[in-house]
Structure 1
Amino acid sequence: MEEHKWRYLQSFLKRKPTSVEECVKAIEKWEEGTRQCYSENIDLSSDDFIRMVLVDGAFIIELFLLNHSPQMRAENDIIFDKRKPWMITNVRRDMSLMENQLPFFVLENLFKITFETQLETQSSLLELAYNFFRVEANLKAELGKERMFDSEVKHLLDALRFWHLPTPQKALDYKWEKIEAIPRAKQLQAAGVKFRMSKSNCLFDIEFSKGVLEIPCFKLNPATESFLRNIMAFEQSCYRHDSYFIDYVAFLGDLIKTRADVKLLIKKGIIAPENLLGNEEILANNDETLANLFNSFGKESWFRTTNIGFCILQQNLKAYYETHWHKVKVPMVSKKKH
């Protein structure tokens, strides 16, 4: 992959053509600001640091451009080789890791240097990034231009989180509320709760009304676990008061405790496994694998939140379950082995 990065750098430099010297001088000006974006000290000399930023930055931009324009790819491009579809999946996963993030302003400035005379006709960098991540990150087919051009993101992982957020976002009052633990899916169903797949494209548009719990479809693919773990770690670091993903995963973790819970949500179209991990043995035990996955997520989530929407949702579900009229139904099915 390192060798491939240098090939992409050469392709990137031919686009303007942009000289190496021009890029190096620009990155030198941003070096101090770039280093400050990292929580830990980067033990690299100035030359090595600039080389790293240039090679990685050019690789990312060129990757987005080649994804957008397939006709420009080299025949021997291993990343887009249709015979090895896992390559592009692995690259997307690696680019969403917290430790692999480049400050977005660096990518955007390199992009502007290359396309300074074509910015009005060229797709924005965020738009190219969105199209690159869209399929495996379960993003909407279209996103409003006002969000596409919002470049106030820290890096690509921040952008991935931003694209998932609801619009408009519900106001958060910055008051910590205790998250109510709710019964698992099969117990809720036994108490009369009906599960239904929501038509919404936003993961967080979960509604409970008149005994019906509507949840948008959540597609699971080989990159899902890595994506969720990284975005949750990122929220713990930077969005503790705005933790949409942490609260969402905690909610699913409460719903999914056993294989029976998984089967129910898959049957209702709420959970959609897509070639989970590409492993035949794991595919044969999908239900147990998914139950264990969400159980592990639940153990890592918070017990308090400022997201009032999730608090009210879980309070309402728990209250519905605990009412005597519904609660008397539970023992008849809860004793069955799942």
Structure 2
Amino acid sequence: MNELLLRSAHIREGKNLSDRIYSSPWLIDDLGHDMILLENLLPFIVLKSMLSLVVDHNLKENPSMLKLTFEHFKSFLTLHRYPDNITPTEVKHFLDFLRYCHLPSPSKKGQKGGLAIEFSPSTKRLNEAGIKFKEGENSCLLDVNFKSGVLEISNLEIDDLTKTLF
């Protein structure tokens, strides 16, 4: 796993045509999918310890396990925002890290009583009522804004991995 993360972040060379993993792009997606399945999760602290054994200590900057994880998963899970306010000790495993990536920014969390989930009318009914829709600029799926009759929602890309995440 660590080798895959290092290669994804271009810290280790090896993305050539003779490489079994990188010569088959679909295999990287499959490995990424397997890495976030509950039955395959390893504690983040274990992965971080293993990384310290394989990383080249002569590098100017040792890669952070969090940054490597973000760089790897952003390529096929369309992660746009690195979670700024977390430390490696807070993250339990890969899936927990992905959860942090989808949480709203700290400034949005405290608004109007927190993160209460309520059922809302369908898009069709909202449109019939005159509500306009706009693609949100923020990458967090939970950042939804309504102002002057316009509902701003982040884009959700649906693909083969969507079911795994939700």
Unaligned runs of 5+ in 2: none
Matched, 1:65 2:6: yes
Equivalent in the alignment of 1:213: 151
Asked whether the 8 Å contact 1:203–1:216 carries over to 2, the reply is yes
2-structure distance, mates of 1:129, 1:200: 21
Higher helix share: 1
Alpha-carbon shift at residue 150 of structure 1 (Å): 1.7
Matched, 1:122 2:59: no
- Give the letter for the 2:37 counterpart: L
Unaligned runs of 5+ in 1: 1-59, 229-338
Which of 18, 22, 34 lines up with 1:76 in the alignment?
Answer: 18
Matched, 1:189 2:127: yes
Asked whether the 8 Å contact 1:67–1:132 carries over to 2, the reply is yes
2-structure distance, mates of 1:133, 1:158: 13
Instruction: Write the deviation string for residues 17-56 of structure 1: whole angstroms up to 9, x where unpaired.
Output: xxxxxxxxxxxxxxxxxxxxxxxxxxxxxxxxxxxxxxxx
Which of 50, 55, 58 lines up with 1:110 in the alignment?
Answer: 50
Q: How many residues align?
A: 163
Alpha-carbon shift at residue 118 of structure 1 (Å): 4.3
2-structure distance, mates of 1:79, 1:114: 19
Equivalent in the alignment of 1:131: 71
Counterpart secondary structure, 2:164:
helix
2-structure distance, mates of 1:64, 1:197: 31
Alpha-carbon shift at residue 93 of structure 1 (Å): 0.8
Counterpart secondary structure, 1:196:
strand
2-structure distance, mates of 1:227, 1:163: 12
Cα 1:122–1:85 change in 2 (3 A) is same
Instruction: Write the deviation string for residues 245-282 of structure 1: whole angstroms up to 9, x where unpaired.
Output: xxxxxxxxxxxxxxxxxxxxxxxxxxxxxxxxxxxxxx
Cα 1:120–1:95 change in 2 (3 A) is same
Asked whether the 8 Å contact 2:16–2:22 carries over to 1, the reply is no
- Give the letter for the 2:82 counterpart: L
Matched, 1:154 2:95: no
Cα 1:209–1:222 change in 2 (3 A) is same
* Identical residues among aligned pairs (%): 34
Cα 1:85–1:74 change in 2 (3 A) is closer
Counterpart secondary structure, 1:218:
coil
Instruction: Write the deviation string for residues 277-322 of structure 1: whole angstroms up to 9, x where unpaired.
Output: xxxxxxxxxxxxxxxxxxxxxxxxxxxxxxxxxxxxxxxxxxxxxx
Asked whether the 8 Å contact 1:139–1:163 carries over to 2, the reply is yes
Equivalent in the alignment of 2:38: 98
Asked whether the 8 Å contact 1:97–1:227 carries over to 2, the reply is no
Q: TM-score, normalised by structure 2?
A: 0.83
Asked whether the 8 Å contact 1:103–1:155 carries over to 2, the reply is yes
Asked whether the 8 Å contact 1:164–1:203 carries over to 2, the reply is yes
2-structure distance, mates of 1:207, 1:99: 36
Cα 1:120–1:105 change in 2 (3 A) is farther
Equivalent in the alignment of 2:82: 143
